[in-house]
Structure 1
Amino acid sequence: MLGLKHNANFLVEYDPAWELEFAHEKRRLSNVVEPVARGIEHYGSTAVKGMKAKPILDILIGVIPLEDWEKCHDPLLRLGYDYAANAGVPGHHIFGRGRDKSERTHLVHVVEYMGLSWCSNLAFRDALRRDSFLREAYTAEKQRAIARGPTSRAEYNELKRAFIDTVKASL
């Protein structure tokens, strides 16, 4: 399953099809951002085998300098993404795609390649892949956040931020 309505938050069991969907989407993205992208990575919980996740594929595109994100704008729009101009994540230019405007299946974050966001997000992903206790703790944190913010993605993200920041600081 891939896709989540804007006013809903829930976790689903890990789906091996997410890896295949990322591989497919990476090819699509590479074809249009290749000249500017230094890297394209699957991150977030859907990138961690066996982990429950919101069914939205999170993708990092790394560019350098960060101002080159603008060169991704029109090509991503042509692929069916829309630009979330006011997403509120410093250093991230976020594009979403879904079956329609009310549902998200993919989120692309364009960040500075090898910058803080690139490195810390991939380090967090890799730590989750290596450590089953960390995966369990993070899953519990996400479930608590969903219980407190079942309809607000922004609230959900804010509720789990301290946990993520603590883990990232230890890496």
Structure 2
Amino acid sequence: MVSDQHQSGCNDFGLGLRQGAVMLVPHNSAWKTAFEIEAETIRSTLRGRQIDIQHIGSSSIPGIKSKPILDLMVGIEDFQAGPLLEPAMASIGYDFARHAGVPDDHVFGKGIERTHLVHVVKFDGPLWRHYLMFRDRLRADRSLARDYEELKDQLAIRFSQDRAAYTAAKKAFIDQVTA
């Protein structure tokens, strides 16, 4: 059972977006704290089944707009064991998105209005390195981060009610950055 305090704490950070919708908000410096709190909750819940937890996605890049959803990446030793985390993740409010359609990524979402997405991937595997490379390049290059934000602004207007299409339309930019 998720504590009321833990659930209400999400709103303190301005998190939450209706499933399927796309809306960008200015970066919130409190998202770093929200990540740290959630990462600790996940660590204590998984009790060592994870190797590392990283803050990824636009909410981890200071200065650019983001959907008000935190993306966390949990690295595990054996990717095939990811679905076995479902009961533990459910105990802290996460649903297993079995049919998310992201290869090599077990996705867990929190909240009816999504506040957090957890990507469970093989630690130091190709997807782990891909997510970190993209985040780190945008953090290091303000111009590149602004280009990404401009693209996201355009796509958010075009796909305001279709998050899957919005995400797919960003793929070419992301692939170019990580090539």
How does the TM-score come out when normalised to structure 1? Answer: 0.94
Deviations 1:13-64 (A, max 9, x none): 0101101100100110000113210110000010111111011000000011
Cα distance in 2 between the residues matched to 1:70 and 1:11: 30
Structure 2 residue corresponding to 1:107, chosen from 117, 128, 148 = 117
Which segment drifts farther, 105-114 or 62-71? 62-71
Per the TM alignment, residue 8 of structure 1 is displaced from its structure 2 partner at its CA by 2.1
Corresponding residue of 2:77: 64
Corresponding residue of 2:5: none
Deviations 1:49-101 (A, max 9, x none): 11110110000000112112133221001111001010000001000002xx2
**Identity over aligned residues, as a percent?**
40
Q: Extract unaligned runs of 5+ from structure 2.
A: 1-13
Corresponding residue of 2:91: 78
Structure 1 residue corresponding to 2:156, chosen from 142, 146, 152 = 146
1:8-27 equivalence runs, <5 A? 8-27=21-40
Q: Extract unaligned runs of 5+ from structure 1.
A: none
Say whether residues 1:157 and 2:156 are aligned partners.
Answer: no
Q: Per the alignment, in what secondary structure is the counterpart of residue 129 of structure 1?
A: helix
Cα distance in 2 between the residues matched to 1:34 and 1:134: 37
- Find runs of 4+ consecutive structure 1 residues off by over 2 angstroms: none
Amino acid at match of 2:169: L
Amino acid at match of 1:5: R
Cα distance in 2 between the residues matched to 1:160 and 1:61: 22
Say whether residues 1:3 and 2:16 are aligned partners.
Answer: yes
Q: Per the alignment, in what secondary structure is the counterpart of residue 101 of structure 2?
A: coil
Corresponding residue of 1:45: 58
Q: How many residues align?
A: 166
Per the TM alignment, residue 7 of structure 1 is displaced from its structure 2 partner at its CA by 3.8
